[in-house]
Amino acid sequence: MREEVTLIGVDGGATKVSAWEISVNEENTSFTLGKNNIQKRYNQYSSFIPEFKPVDIKIQLDEMNKNINLIEDEKEHGKAYLDATADVIIELAKKCNAKKLLIGIGMPGLKTKDRRGISAIANGPRMPKYCQYIENKLEKNGIELLTPIDHLGSDADYCGLGEEFSSDGSFTNYQNSYYIGGGTGVADALKLNDKVTPFDQTKKWIAKTWEMKNDNGISMEKYTSASGIQSIYGNYANISSNELNQREIYAPQIMEFALKNNDENAKKTISEIVKALSLLFFERLTTVYFGSQNLFEFVNPNRPKLDANHPFKNTFLESIIVGQRLGDYLKNSKGKGIFYESIIEELTQIISNSKFVDDKFKNYYLKNGKFKEEIIQISKLREAPAIGAGIDAYLTFHN
């Protein structure tokens, strides 16, 4: 890629959008985050509708492959998302003194047939002309693109690309690994037989975290996301989400309450999360090695059952990479005898007491009767989706 081209990765979340300059080492095709970054919250824009209600998801799914009939609130609310995205790119281009841009963008939601728009999304506005709008606004502001934006990607896939191709990525050290990132939502990624394998390609035999629910009917996403952890504590302490936000009580504070204040509600919260995460990790390890044992039910009862046979059976996952805010939470708990150590203990018990795992499986994951701590790694990529978006744009252009 010529020197005058600046690579930018954009991560569009539920409440804000971030754009990062990405540096490329073309000799070994590795990537690092540059020093320049711009972020904007959607609610900074006058078109943002605080009480926005998404179109019923059944209607959205029905219209996906037909004409998408945007309601006026969607058009208005969507403009905040689109303008924020265009503005972070424009401001970052000026900050970098960029002459020409190559852009990758990750956004939640189901994509249009051309993959350049959003045709269905659970908690936001549909934006079927997403890329076209961004390109038009960039052109009006004198921003030149090396090539039109090829497609919108998913943050989960981009986390996997970031872990594989970034100089700080954790996938590079392993041939078989699982990544889970917890922030606003949850992202899953797999590397199998030395290749990053999107979950959309493996959905017949392994499910995404948000698709699965526990015995209480709660989506496993709740135990990995920042708002989910907060809401679990709120339920125990009988405190509303609004009040928790006003008092600035989030996952890190909940851990401190358990450690320093001996807060029973905080301790119950962490205990519940430990059990859920440990079972989820066990499900990942056993599904790859043995095939699905149906340890969880699905949020969508119509989702087809998982196929117990798949091409990667008898494969040991060498690592579980934990990233984003969930990774920070786990890292900060190390050595405190809470959360991290509890997950190791819980995994030890689950594997030791399992009736279907064999000695070969136990010998791989247990050492001296204890779960091998080196299996669980903390991601070094706090902005994995953004760097992954830039990597995808680069690889798409050069391939």
Instruction: Report whether pLDDT(3) > 80.
Output: no
Q: Which of 37-51, 219-233, 312-326 has the lowest mean pLDDT?
A: 219-233
CATH superfamily of 172-379: ATPase, nucleotide binding domain (3.30.420.40)
pLDDT of residue 26: 79
List helix spans (H) across 226-322: 226-237, 241-246, 251-260, 264-290
Q: What percent of the chain has pLDDT over 90?
A: 82
Q: What percent of the chain has pLDDT over 70?
A: 99
Q: Are strands 370-371 and 366-367 parallel, antiparallel or unpaired?
A: antiparallel
Average pLDDT for 12-23: 93
Q: What is the largest CA-CA distance in the chain?
A: 64
Instruction: Report whether pLDDT(283) > 60.
Output: yes
3 state SS of 153: strand
Return mean pLDDT, the chain: 94
Average pLDDT for 356-371: 97
Q: At what angle do helices 340-353 and 264-290 cross, to 10 degrees?
A: 50
> 195 exposed, middle or buried (CB, 10 Å; 0-12, 13-18, 19+)?
exposed
In the DSSP assignment, the letter for residue 166 is B
The b-or-e profile of 363-398 (16+ CB within 10 A means b, else e) is ebbeeeeebeeebbbbbbbbbbbbbbbbbbbbeeee
Angle formed at CA 177 by CA 173 and CA 183, multiple of 5 degrees: 105
List helix spans (H) across 120-166: 130-140, 155-165
CB atoms within 10 A of CB 241: 12
Beta bridge partners of 319: 177
Instruction: Report whether pLDDT(270) > 60.
Output: yes
Q: 94 to each of 34, 310, 326, how far by Cα in Å?
A: 14, 49, 33
CB under 8 A, 24+ apart: contacts of 302-311: 303/207, 303/211, 304/204, 306/204, 306/205, 306/206, 306/207, 307/204, 307/205, 308/205, 309/205, 310/202, 310/204, 310/205, 310/206
Average pLDDT for 74-84: 97
Instruction: Report whether pLDDT(184) > 90.
Output: no
Q: Are strands 195-197 and 186-192 parallel, antiparallel or unpaired?
A: antiparallel
Average pLDDT for 237-251: 93
Average pLDDT for 375-396: 94
Instruction: Report whether pLDDT(1) > 80.
Output: no
Query: pLDDT class for 163, splitting at 50, 70, 90?
Result: very high
For 30-70, what is the HEC assignment?
A: EEEEEEEEEEEEHHHCCCCCCCCCCCCHHHHHHHCCCCCCC
Q: Which of 10-14, 91-95, 232-236, 317-321 has the lowest mean pLDDT?
A: 10-14
Query: pLDDT class for 97, splitting at 50, 70, 90?
Result: very high
**Domain coordinates in residue numbering, the chain:** 5-156+385-398, 172-379
Structure-block tokens of residue 84? 């924020």
End-to-end CA distance of the chain: 12
pLDDT of residue 89: 98
Instruction: Report whether pLDDT(76) > 70.
Output: yes
Q: Give the residue, 150 or 65, on which the prediction is more confident.
A: 150
In the DSSP assignment, the letter for residue 307 is P
Average pLDDT for 140-144: 96
CATH superfamily of 5-156+385-398: ATPase, nucleotide binding domain (3.30.420.40)
| CATH topology agreement for domains 5-156+385-398 and 172-379 | yes
Instruction: Report whether pLDDT(328) > 90.
Output: yes
CB under 8 A, 24+ apart: contacts of 288-292: 288/176, 288/178, 288/192, 288/206, 288/312, 288/313, 288/315, 288/316, 288/317, 289/313, 289/314, 289/315, 289/316, 289/317, 289/361, 290/356, 290/357, 290/361, 291/205, 292/205, 292/206
Angle formed at CA 139 by CA 136 and CA 140, multiple of 5 degrees: 90
What is the Cα–Cα distance from 399 to 396, expressed in whole angstroms? 5
Tens digits of per-residue pLDDT, 306-321?
999 999 999 999 999 9
Instruction: Report whether pLDDT(2) > 80.
Output: no
